[in-house]
Amino acid sequence: MLEELNIRNYALIDEVSVRFGPGFNVFSGETGAGKSILIDALSLTLGGKGRVENIREGAEEAEITATLRVTPSPELTEWIEKYGIEPEDETFLIHRTLRANGRGTAAVQAVPVTRAALSELADALVDIHGQHEHQSLFKVATHRKLLDRFAGIEDRVRAFTSLFSDLAETGKQLEELDREEGQMAREAEFLRFAADEIEAAGLKEGEEEELEERQKLLSRHEELAGNLEKVLDVSAEARSGALSQLRSAKEILSKALSIDTSLGEVIRRFDSAFFELEDIIEEVRLKRDAAEYDPSELERVDERLARISMLEKKYGVVSIADVNAYAAGARGQLEGFDNRDEERRRLSARRDEIQAKVVSEASAISKLRREIAASLQEKTESHLRSLGMRDARFIVELEGKRSNEGRAVIGPYGLDVIEFILSANRGETPKPLKAVASGGELSRVMLAVKSVLSESDTVQTLIFDEVDAGIGGEVARSVGEHLHGLSSRKQVFCITHLASIAVFADNHLQVDKSSVDGRTVTRVRNVDGDSRVREVARMLAGDREGSASLDHAARLLEERSPSTG
């Protein structure tokens, strides 16, 4: 519900602050007084496009603030979740500025927002009917929502949309698998080859070090054999050999012992070293005798080391342990690819299952819509006749989506493209509302639709700008009755020149303009009691003081008073 509107430096308004009540609110005043300026300013606050020329002459900035008390609805909840801005005490404070340099600001609860975000919030809170951007009947997407609310299937359609999203997401996952399939196949082929190649090599940890040692020994066999032979030559028992010389030394030490008995320990150590050296020489001899050179073994060792080195370089590692780890990792990845095949089968089965549900539910929802559409048409046309559009034909057009090949296409809300179309006069071909209805006719169409949908529609504030265009007499009275009836469940605003509509108001606001310090200004005030009688008298006969017009006005207010029906 719109509780308060504050306007500063907008068009003819220097500064106006208006509080509103629930029920039926009427704006009246002389032509040109500025009634529509109030709606224009509110429209700007609700995300409408601003025009620099609407800034009051001499001012640098126009400023409009609206206070709206909100009630929960799916659309409002969705907006709050999307933008993270919560109402305070069930109230939103919306602030909009328009500056002379063409720039402006928009904020909800002092949080800056885009004009698009503001417009989305407005769609959940307010309908403005007339020549305004927020004319909800111009938005074909709204027609589907209104029909579904009337049918009482909004929750079911919402569940269908969720199911449709699941289908789309599952399809997306399958497409992703398909896109990756070629790359995965190539990768799997490489991993399988790598694992097979490494496993076929039969590499063992420590093998490379052992082979390198054996390679060194085989490749320098002649040098090794020559060195061993030289050792034996210089240390053998031959005349000039080291063992022969040491044995002579041992004999000489034994003779010296007879002279100096303290040499006993030296001789003992000498004997020990001599025997150790004999053992060493014997081992060298055995090593020399056992040394064999097999060229084919060296070739085999070289080939094995070359294979190991190739595998290490090929797979970017530095040891046999790393090569084997690479093979194990490749096998693990291949198992993952096998699991992806299983995932594909699972997703395909899930897609088929959801698709069957989507097709079935889309058909069921479409059937319900077609059944209820006739009732919405009939009831709306009945209201239109009482609102002076006797020959109007209101049609809820349900047209199935089709592909280029002519197949039925299911969208997030089902099979149907829903649009309200209208023939306002006898003999006219029904056309989209925006193409055939004048502002006044469109406001009456919306009044008729909103009257039919009043219990199910979640928008709480309705504003009718031109609902009285081209009507009078009994039709005007019927419009007033409709507006008052609608206001029992909604907050309703109406700009009107007709007394027969204004007398139904719960709150009557008079708009007038006057000259202050040489400037024209627009003022808004609540009228009741005698002041309201005078304003209704002016609307009836242009005479606020004549006894006849005053009596007529008083009688109308008494007869049409909401308290008396």
Q: What is the pLDDT of residue 502?
A: 92
> In this structure, is the dihedral angle defined by the CA atoms of residues 220, 226, 231 and 237, taken in order, positive or negative?
positive
If the chain, 565 residues long, is cut into consecutive pieces of 10 residues, what is the mean pLDDT of each piece? 93 89 91 83 87 88 94 90 94 93 90 92 83 63 88 92 94 80 74 86 88 79 74 69 80 84 87 86 78 76 88 89 89 73 84 94 94 93 87 90 76 92 88 74 80 81 81 84 90 91 93 82 89 91 80 87 48
Q: What is the reported pLDDT for 339?
A: 67
pLDDT of res. 508: 94
Closest CA to 21 of 474, 412, 508: 508
Question: 326 with 337: CB under 8 angstroms?
Answer: no
Within 8 A by CB and 6+ apart from 361, the residues are: 156, 160, 163, 414
Question: How do residues 411-457 score in pLDDT, each as one tens digit?
Answer: 999 999 999 998 988 888 898 887 766 667 777 888 888 888 877 77
- Burial class of residue 57 in the structure, from the number of CB atoms within 10 Å of its CB (0-12 exposed, 13-18 middle, 19+ buried): exposed
Strand order in the sheet with 519-527: 126-129, 461-464, 491-495, 24-28, 507-516, 519-527
As given in the structure block, the two tokens for residue 497 are 């020149």
Distances (CA, A) of 429 to 393, 425, 435: 9, 9, 11
- Tokens (6 digits) for 306: 């070359």
Q: Please report where in the chains the tokens 């309703």 appear, as a residue.
A: 492
* Per-residue confidence (pLDDT) for residue 57, from 0 to 100: 86
Q: Rounded CA gap, 8 and 167, in Å?
A: 51
For residue 258, how many C-alpha atoms fall within 13 Å in the half-sphere facing its CB? 4
DSSP, collapsed to helix, strand or coil, labels residue 501 as helix
- Residue pair 91/70 in contact (Cβ under 8 Å)? The answer is yes
Alpha-carbon distances of 546 from 458, 499, 533, 538, 542, rounded to whole Å? 45, 16, 11, 9, 10
As to burial, measured by CB atoms within 10 angstroms (0-12 exposed, 13-18 middle, 19+ buried), residue 299 is exposed
Q: What does the pLDDT read at residue 302?
A: 86
Query: Rounded to whole angstroms, how far apart are CA atoms 141 and 43?
Result: 20
pTM of the model: 0.63
Domains and CATH numbers, the chain: 2-138+439-527 (3.40.50.300), 186-334 (no CATH), 528-565 (no CATH)
Residue 10, φ and ψ in degrees, nearest 5: -120, 115
**By the 8 A CB rule, do 192 and 285 touch?**
no
Tens digits of residue pLDDT in 454-504 = 777 788 898 887 777 777 788 888 888 999 988 988 999 998 889 999 999
Predicted local distance difference test score (pLDDT) of residue 565: 47
35 contacts 508 by C-beta, under 8 angstroms = no
* CB contact burial 234-243 (16+ within 10 A = b; e otherwise): ebeeeeebbb
Position 564 scores a pLDDT of 41
Distance CA 416, CA 409 (A): 9
Question: Rg of the chain over CA atoms, in angstroms?
Answer: 49
For residue 291, what pLDDT is reported? Answer: 67
**Per-residue pLDDT, 23:** 93
Coil vs helix vs strand at 375 = helix
pLDDT at 424: 84
Say if residues 44 and 104 touch (Cβ distance below 8 Å): no
**Nearest partner of 91 among 121, 64, 120, judged by Cα:** 121
Sheet (strand 2-10) strand order: 13-19, 2-10, 61-69, 91-99, 104-108, 111-112
Q: Kindly list the distances between the CA atom of residue 375 and the CA atoms of 130, 380, 399, 549, in Å, as whole numbers in the listed order.
A: 26, 8, 17, 43
Report the pLDDT value the prediction gives residue 238, as an integer from 0 to 100. 59
| Nearest-angstrom CA–CA distance, 375 and 498 | 32
CA-to-CA separations, 81 to 117, 121, 141, in angstroms, rounded: 12, 12, 21
How many other CB atoms are found less than 10 A from the CB of residue 71? 10
Distance CA 214, CA 224 (A): 13
Please report, in angstroms and rounded to a whole number, the separation of the first and last CA atoms in the chain. Answer: 23
44 Cβ neighbours under 8 A, 6+ residues apart:
10, 50, 54, 64, 96, 98
As a whole number of angstroms, the distance between CA 565 and CA 560 comes to: 6
